[in-house]
Structure 1
Amino acid sequence: MYQYIIRRTLVFIPMLFALTVIVFTLALLAPGDAFTGKSLADPNVDPEVYERQREEAGLNDAIPVQYGRWISNVAQGDFGKSLVFNGRSVSELIEARLANTLYLGLFSLFITLVVSIPIGIYSAKHPYSLLDYGATGFGFLGLAIPNFFFGLIAIYVLAIQLDWFPAQGTLDEPGMTGIEALKSRLHHMVLPGITLGLAGTATYMRYMRSEVLDVLGSDYIRTARAKGMSDRNVLYKHTLRNALIPIITLMGFEIGMLLSGAVITEQVFNYPGLGTLFLSSVVNRDFPVVMAIAMLLGILILVGNLLADIFYSIIDPRIRYD
């Protein structure tokens, strides 16, 4: 196992290098920059002012020079300074928003697992029941409805009409601490958390139902029942452990997908996380921030895949990586 983890970690090096090239190239190919955007917005400003700022920021240097300077700084943990937010460091901007996005992602994943796994198991144990048909219908709707559209409906019904949950923000009042701050934060995360986890809940539910049905029809399950093992032990000691393998696979991808999917969800709910920062940086052509967030999401996806492989061996002892 340890040798496998070391090998996979070493594989990250060329993958991260390829990721840096892709991120830098996409930013380079994007039209304009932060200074171009300013000059277009205010034609009365002398273009030489912005050209001087471009020179100071190194945007007029040769492409290999720009990439070498950027990758060298990134290797040292320095993502540079924002071109829009008054020269603030990119790391400072990300640090101020990262916690909110992580809280939202973990909360969404918690809701997804708590809802999808029990319903998926029940649907498999009682196929073609009323709840099974209802879960199937919910699964199709969850996959078909775009997150942003569901979020707008949730805001209109649950926030505006019923006034059950707040429609935006993270806290009722600034400066809240302790238990009251925790309650307020959880209250604010309900709507964006459900919206963010909608597609994942539907997917997990269908996978769980399918896998449990498949495992329940296996020979070793029939053998366990023939030996007099109770249905509860059959379900939790044999069926569930094997049925969780594809769920673990999905969770590895979900770590990065939740954070990347939060880009649109956070914008809908005006939630101050990495998503809103990413979109505002794209609009303002603040490419140091855009590249840093894209790099962070890519790294999280790679780490999530590694964690999924490690969890394989924990869930299923038959899997070995030696």
Structure 2
Amino acid sequence: MRQFFVKSIMQFIPVLFLISLIVFLLVHVSGDPVTLMLPDTATDEDRRALTAALGLDQPLYVQYFKFMAQLVQGDFGNSFRYHQPALPIVLDRLPATFELAAAAMLVATVIAIPLGIISATKRNSFWDVFATGAAVLGKAMPHFWLGIMFILLFSVNLGMFPVSGRGTLLHLVLPAVTLGTGIAAEMTRLIRSSMLEILGQDYIRTARSKGVAEKLVIYKHAFRNSLIPVVTIMALQISTLISGALITETIYAWPGMGQLIIQAVNTRDMAIVQAAVFVIAFLVILSNMLADLVYRLLDPRIKFN
């Protein structure tokens, strides 16, 4: 296991380096920050002074080395909107995004596991058609449309849930269901296909021929062995959760990192954008490493090396 962690960490470094380079270049092609930060009444002298203060008058490779030196210390610069260091602002919004992502994943798991198992064990039945149709429909509906429909139905017409904000469990329900629906659809189809493959294996037929209870066959033997691709797809859905949160948090005014990124892009607050993109990339890489660890633990045949 030690070799696994060392190898994973060594893979972290070049990926994070590449991400830092991409983030740095994207900031420089997105527009002139000096123009954005100065008022219309600013003179050419004001522009030259601010350009020199930001180091934008230096060669691009010098700017990148300075950017990397600051990045190693966790310094992404100051937000010109908040007048504070960018990274603490992003990290301050992270718990709200984690809360929404965890709730959405819980919703997706609660929906997908029963539907996937029923669909596989009752193949070509009404329940199979229903689960498959629900999965296709859930995948086809975009987050922004689904969120607006939920607000109109459950908040405006029925008054069951708050329209926006964060604070109580009721505030969390609609954003979590909105974000979790697409993931549930993906997981349902994967669980169904994985279960169908496992149920056709020889050891499942052997267990049934020995008189093992059907529930034990399904949940202990088949479902457990079908978890490896499910764990993998759950880890890969971290990026989907974050990208979906950009829209979902904006629709429901959820004060998380997604809403912060949208506001930063609109105001060209590039220090916030840099810090947020880097944090998201780090979380995605970390989640992939944890998924690799989990499915090695689920399947002893996969060795740590």
- TM-score by length of structure 2 reads 0.95
Moved more, 123-132 or 236-245: 123-132
d(CA) in 2 for partners of 1:18 and 1:278? Answer: 21
Does 2:244 match 1:247? no
Matched-pair contact (CA < 8 Å) for 1:123–1:135:
yes
Partner of 1:78: 75
Does 2:110 match 1:138? no
Unaligned runs of 5+ in 2: none
- Counterpart AA for 1:37: L
Q: Deviations over 1:217-239 (max 9, x none)?
A: 11110011112211122112210
d(CA) in 2 for partners of 1:212 and 1:202? Answer: 15
Does 2:39 match 1:56? no
Partner of 2:104: 108
Matched-pair contact (CA < 8 Å) for 1:168–1:270:
yes
Partner of 1:204: 187
Return the offset for 1:130.
2.5
- TM-score by length of structure 1 reads 0.90
d(CA) in 2 for partners of 1:309 and 1:115? Answer: 24
Partner of 1:160: 156
Instruction: Give the counterpart of 2:122 among 101, 120, 126.
Output: 126
Does 2:230 match 1:231? no
Partner of 1:194: 177
Instruction: Give the counterpart of 2:63 among 48, 66, 71.
Output: 66
Q: Deviations over 1:79-138 (max 9, x none)?
A: 2211222x2111221122111111101111111111111111111111233332222111
d(CA) in 1 for partners of 2:44 and 2:101? Answer: 43
Return the offset for 1:268.
1.2
1:197 is paired with a residue of what secondary structure?
helix
Moved more, 304-313 or 129-138: 129-138
1:319 is paired with a residue of what secondary structure?
coil
2:79 is paired with a residue of what secondary structure?
coil
Return the offset for 1:320.
1.3
1:318 is paired with a residue of what secondary structure?
coil
Does 2:86 match 1:90? yes
d(CA) in 2 for partners of 1:98 and 1:36? Answer: 30
d(CA) in 2 for partners of 1:169 and 1:48? Answer: 44
d(CA) in 1 for partners of 2:104 and 2:47? Answer: 43
Partner of 1:21: 21
d(CA) in 1 for partners of 2:87 and 2:256? Answer: 14
- Counterpart AA for 1:103: E
Partner of 2:243: 260
Return the offset for 1:50.
4.6
- Counterpart AA for 1:58: G
Matched-pair contact (CA < 8 Å) for 1:32–1:285:
no
Unaligned runs of 5+ in 1: 172-183
Return the offset for 1:22.
1.0
Does 2:33 match 1:37? no
- Counterpart AA for 1:36: T
Does 2:291 match 1:308? yes
Return the offset for 1:31.
2.2
2:226 is paired with a residue of what secondary structure?
helix
Q: Report sequence identity in percent.
A: 37
d(CA) in 2 for partners of 1:247 and 1:119? Answer: 14
Matched-pair contact (CA < 8 Å) for 2:87–2:276:
no
Aligned-pair Cα RMSD in Å: 1.6
- Counterpart AA for 1:57: L
d(CA) in 1 for partners of 2:262 and 2:285? Answer: 23
2:284 is paired with a residue of what secondary structure?
helix
